Structure 1
Amino acid sequence: MYQGVLIKMKTEFTSPVNYYLVFKNDFIHMNQLLDKEVKFSFVSYECLNCHLDKPIYRQGFCKSCFFETASAGDWIMRPELSKAHLDEEDRDLDFEKQMQLQPHVVYLALSSEVKVGVTRKAQIPTRWIDQGAHQAIEVVEVPNRYLAGITEVALKDHMTDKTNWRKMLTNTLADIDLVAEKDRLDDFLPEAVKPYYLDTNQKIYTIEYPVLQYPEKVKSLNLDKTPEFSGKLKGIKGQYLIFDNGTVFNVRGNEGYVVNIEIQ
């Protein structure tokens, strides 16, 4: 029996990916639970910022913290809103400089369809693993988050910037040549970003996930509606646990929930 606050699973870029659910004083190597019966029981909430037992609003934060903490600024989901390079504060300039003023990569990833995305260079390949991507390629590497954001805005006029999580979890993959897609997008880069285009780096990253069986259809587990759930773990992909009856559980989508986990 384990108890702890859910945060997104830690990963190791191995073949297949290793997943770890980390609690304050313990951790679970989730790959070892494949083909075992696992029971989740909701206990309470714990906001990742104030640590109070308050209903989670978004991203693991209670409602008041979501609108106050620097870790939930609009620039996180919309990097084109970054302003630290202008020395302008959103919520906490020191934090924003630390996060925004470092190398960022705009990439193409294949998880269902091919999508464009942004991540800090230090988060490669973790970001792709969290999205359940099977393949990924870097397009540009820029010195701050703002330049990455305006690149993503320009490129998403020509392809999606979203992952179809249902297709990703049923392993429904498009047959896409990422190098050809990268070359196609070169003409659509903002002028300020063109010097950062990685024209000589055509490396394709390939990611393998610990999945014994993909479901034909998926249904999402909601701990608020179903506070207890038990099923046989059949796979882990992205930040999702996949169970034998097609139920999937998004660990990252339930950050801030305190749960009991029983391995039966």
Structure 2
Amino acid sequence: MTVYQGFLSELKHRPETTVQYFLSVGDESVGLNELIGTTLRLSFLEEKACCACGRKVKGKLYGGGYCYPCVTTLAECDLCIMKPHECHFDKGTCRDEEFAKSHCMIPHYVYLALSSNVKVGLTRKNRELTRWVDQGAVRAIPIAELPTRKLAGELEMAIAEHIADKTDWRKMLKGVYEEVDLFEVREQIKAIVPEEFQQYLFDVDQLFEFTYPILENLEKIKSMSFDKEPVIEGKLIGIKGQYLIFDCGVLNIKKHTGYKIEVTTQAPVEQTA
């Protein structure tokens, strides 16, 4: 038996032949793939802390682990992060110009990904593999490179009039998706992309594919939360996106960033730096 305590961070992963997952509990990084098929017990210790400033929080955390003061002041929590096309950097009202220069005023990809369905999305260049795995994509290709996040957001919105920009997380976790040729979809998109964005489109020959460590798929998806179930215990049967998949339900780790938990495993675990 192994026991760890600490505040949760989002799942880390490496996109190898099968995606390798790691659970961050405080300063510990716990290898999860070798624990699939074993029983895990995750106990909420009734403490929460902001992932940015470390402030202890008695009530709600926002936006994936932020306290209220941080979510209302930090640039990474501004509404334009979720709606890049509404970037207001050029209006002089950005919360943090240095953050914008390093995160927003840099090249971004617009991509097609297949998870529950074909969806369009955007991500910073060189962060695409992380983004695709976080969304539980089984296949993906970039289709355009734009110089700023705002331009990428505008192109995404134009394409989203014809293709979904959301993932059905329940179907994604069940492994339910329609077989679609992303290269064919890319060709169809070229015909509907507004003229001002045509210069940013490009063709790639490589199809990125991802295999997730899953023993079996659940027929019914039950979402679990430490706010309703302070102790979650079950057989770990898979990991996909930011979800731990148990035989009794699924737990979104990213949504519980900042929760202090105790993890008890029934088997030795691999620790990573």
Q: Which amino acid aligns with 2:80?
A: W
Q: Deviations over 1:54-81 (max 9, x none)?
A: 1312221122321111121112111112
Q: Which amino acid aligns with 2:225?
A: N
Structure 1 residue 148: Cα displacement: 0.4
Q: Which amino acid aligns with 1:21?
A: L
SS of aligned partner of 1:27: strand
1:56 aligns with 2:61: yes
1:237 aligns with 2:244: no
8 Å CA contact 1:129–1:238 kept in 2: the answer is yes
Q: Deviations over 1:162-186 (max 9, x none)?
A: 0100000011011111111111111
**Which of 108, 115, 125 is the matching residue for 2:112?**
108
Report how many residues are paired. Answer: 261
Q: Which moved more, 1:149-158 or 1:57-66?
A: 57-66
Backbone CA RMSD of aligned residues:
1.3
1:167 aligns with 2:150: no
Unaligned runs of 5+ in 2: 267-273
Runs (4+) off by over 3 Å: none
Unaligned runs of 5+ in 1: none
Q: Which amino acid aligns with 1:177?
A: D
Which residue is equivalent to 2:132? 128
Question: 2-side partners of 1:97 and 1:88: how far apart?
Answer: 13
Which residue is equivalent to 2:50? 47
1:219 aligns with 2:222: yes
8 Å CA contact 1:35–1:232 kept in 2: the answer is yes
Which residue is equivalent to 1:73? 78
8 Å CA contact 2:84–2:152 kept in 1: the answer is yes
Which residue is equivalent to 1:155? 159
Q: Deviations over 1:104-142 (max 9, x none)?
A: 000010001100000001212110000000000111011
Which residue is equivalent to 1:20? 22
**Which of 187, 202, 206 is the matching residue for 1:203?**
206
Question: 1-side partners of 2:32 and 2:86: how far apart?
Answer: 36
SS of aligned partner of 1:248: strand
Structure 1 residue 87: Cα displacement: 7.0
Question: 1-side partners of 2:6 and 2:195: how far apart?
Answer: 48
1:36 aligns with 2:38: yes
Could you state the TM-score of these two structures normalised by the residue count of structure 2?
A: 0.92
SS of aligned partner of 2:126: helix
Question: 2-side partners of 1:12 and 1:187: how far apart?
Answer: 35
Q: Which amino acid aligns with 2:20?
A: N
Q: Which amino acid aligns with 2:5?
A: Q
Could you state the TM-score of these two structures normalised by the residue count of structure 1?
A: 0.95
SS of aligned partner of 1:214: coil
Question: 1-side partners of 2:122 and 2:92: how far apart?
Answer: 21
**Which of 235, 245, 261 is the matching residue for 1:259?**
261
